[in-house]
């Protein structure tokens, strides 16, 4: 009878009729419910998502199962699906002790290590989390996802040099992995390796040309390489794709100032301010462009707007003093130097400039 039942169970299992397996086994007398049938019943409940019921059935035959790697594996798998990752890890390790060559168990153990490690890192326990993630690598056949996770942990910790080997491992397996390209570019950028960063941002654009931030970040690399014309072109591409990001216009405006294209720069900065009226850096760069165009009164207005937003920025008062000196409004300039000195009392450069201005006033 058992052979006939086992054949039916296997046939039902092959066509995913798990409820029929449960109904069939539950029709049997309790005396017929041996270790094998109980394990198969547990498997059927697990396949229907009843993990607690499956665990309970497996634990009811613990004495017979403690030397069976399949019993440990099934119990572990239920706990994994029940999000009891630590318990599942221990059970998978028990299964491997009995059958060290079981590749499926190794893969599932890797998943446990990965999920435990990710959870620890998400809860700011990165040292412990990284240990689990590296353990995950040891048992996984496909390591790309794990390397990416480890790299992102290192990036979050600003340990960019540690992130590099992980990302290079991903690229060696999947040269067109977009996330790895973006992260590699980001890491190189933060290591001030702008040529290398540029290469990967350009590859990211090849992989997905409709992401504005790829062009924006490419522009930042070009800017650091003093390739300002190319940077402007890259920022322009970013704006064409996403015309609503203030930073895109600001960075383009910054490159234009360095190219002495100050009128064009002002157009960009006005657009940046229109999108984000609180962005102090835009007003400051706008003031600089206006100053370079000898539009001193307008430059002062931009600096006064910054002071309205934040009255404690040292450089704003220094810049304002310099413009007022150009306008020969020496007493107002002196007031600005005094405010600057109250913010940074030990700034020798400003102290010297103040003394020179006093000499002019006294004359």
Q: What are φ and ψ of residue 208, in 5° steps?
A: -150, 95
Q: Does pLDDT of 1 surpass 70? A: no
Rounded average pLDDT over 250-273: 97
Q: Cα separation of 39 and 43, whole Å?
A: 6
Rounded average pLDDT over 141-146: 95
pLDDT band at 362 (very low <50, low <70, confident <90, very high): confident
Q: Does pLDDT of 6 surpass 90? A: no
Query: Residue 210's pLDDT is what?
Result: 96
**Where on the phi/psi map is residue 339: left (φ > 0), alpha (ψ -120 to 50), or beta?**
alpha
Q: Does pLDDT of 86 surpass 60? A: yes
Per-chain mean pLDDT for the chain: 95
Q: Does pLDDT of 254 surpass 50? A: yes
What CA–CA distances, in Å, run from 24 to 9, 27, 74, 302, 322? 8, 5, 21, 81, 91
Rounded average pLDDT over 234-250: 98
Is the alpha carbon torsion for 98, 102, 107, 108 positive or negative?
A: negative
Rounded average pLDDT over 281-299: 96
What CA–CA distances, in Å, run from 47 to 21, 53, 91? 11, 11, 19
pLDDT tens-digit readout, 89-126: 999 999 999 999 999 999 999 999 999 999 999 999 99
Residue 183 exposure: Cα atoms within 13 Å on the Cβ side: 30
Q: What is 10-61 written as a DSSP string?
A: HHHHHTT-HHHHHHHHHTS-GGG--HHHHHHHHHHHHHTT-HHHHHHHHHTT
Query: Residue 3's pLDDT is what?
Result: 73
What's the token pair of residue 222? Answer: 């070009």
pLDDT tens-digit readout, 197-238: 999 999 999 999 999 999 999 999 999 999 999 999 999 999
pLDDT band at 4 (very low <50, low <70, confident <90, very high): confident
Query: Residue 241's pLDDT is what?
Result: 98
- This prediction has a pTM of 0.86
CB 274 within 8 A of CB 304: no
Q: Does pLDDT of 296 surpass 50? A: yes
Q: Does pLDDT of 306 surpass 70? A: yes
Q: Cα separation of 24 and 3, whole Å?
A: 13
Q: Cα separation of 297 and 329, whole Å?
A: 12
Any idea how long the chain is? 363
């Amino acid at each position: 009878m058992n052979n006939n039942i086992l054949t039916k169970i296997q046939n039902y299992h092959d066509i995913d009729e798990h409820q029929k397996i449960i109904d069939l086994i539950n029709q049997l007398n309790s005396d017929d419910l041996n270790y094998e049938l109980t394990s198969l019943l547990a498997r059927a409940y697990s396949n229907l998502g009843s993990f607690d019921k499956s665990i309970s059935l497996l634990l009811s035959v613990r004495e017979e199962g403690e030397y069976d790697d399949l019993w440990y594996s099934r119990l572990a798998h239920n706990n994994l699906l029940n999000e009891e990752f630590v318990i599942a890890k221990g059970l998978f390790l028990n299964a491997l002790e009995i059958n060290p060559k079981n590749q499926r168990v190794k893969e599932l153990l890797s998943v446990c290590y990965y999920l435990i490690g990710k959870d620890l890192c998400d809860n700011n326990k990165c040292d412990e989390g990284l240990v689990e993630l590296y353990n995950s690598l040891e048992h996984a056949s496909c390591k790309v996802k794990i390397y990416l996770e480890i790299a992102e942990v290192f990036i979050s910790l600003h340990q960019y040099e540690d992130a590099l080997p992980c990302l290079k491992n991903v690229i060696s397996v999947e040269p067109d992995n977009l996330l790895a390209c973006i992260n590699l570019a980001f890491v190189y950028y933060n290591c001030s390796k702008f040529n290398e960063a540029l290469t990967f941002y350009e590859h990211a654009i090849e992989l997905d040309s409709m992401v504005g931030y790829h062009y924006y970040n490419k522009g930042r690399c070009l800017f650091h390489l003093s390739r300002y014309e190319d940077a402007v072109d890259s920022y322009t591409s970013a704006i064409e794709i996403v015309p609503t990001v203030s930073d895109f216009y600001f960075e383009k405006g910054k490159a234009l100032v360095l190219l002495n294209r100050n009128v064009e720069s002002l157009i960009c900065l006005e657009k940046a301010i229109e999108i984000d009226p609180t962005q102090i850096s835009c007003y400051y760069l706008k003031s600089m462009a206006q100053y370079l165009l000898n539009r001193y009164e307008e430059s002062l207005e931009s600096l006064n707007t910054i002071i309205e937003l934040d009255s404690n920025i040292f450089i704003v008062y220094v810049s304002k003093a310099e413009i007022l000196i150009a306008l020969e409004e020496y007493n107002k300039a002196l007031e600005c130097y005094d405010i600057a000195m109250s913010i940074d009392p030990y700034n020798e450069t400003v102290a010297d400039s103040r003394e020179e201005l006093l000499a002019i006033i006294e004359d």
